[in-house]
Amino acid sequence: SPIKLSNTPIEYKHAAPQLGEHMLKILLQYKTREELASLQAKGVIDSSINILNDDSVT
């Protein structure tokens, strides 16, 4: 927090996202899964990400 209030406790509602946590969701706004798979095959996107079979992202 940029402001420090000495008598006000800090409360966090949830943790910050992990690095890359929303990457696939964001990329799918601009490219199809097939286009992303092609980029993955070229080494542009990390091969550990399951682009074609990740149903948790729509």
Q: 41: part of which helix (H) or strand (E)?
A: helix 33-41
Token pair, residue 54, equals 């990740």
How large is the C-alpha radius of gyration of the chain? Answer: 18
Is this model's pTM higher than 0.95 or not? no
pLDDT digits (tens, 9 = 90+) for 11-54: 888 888 888 888 899 999 999 999 999 999 999 999 888 888 87
Residue 1 has pLDDT above 70, yes or no: no
Q: Where are the domains of the chain?
A: 27-58
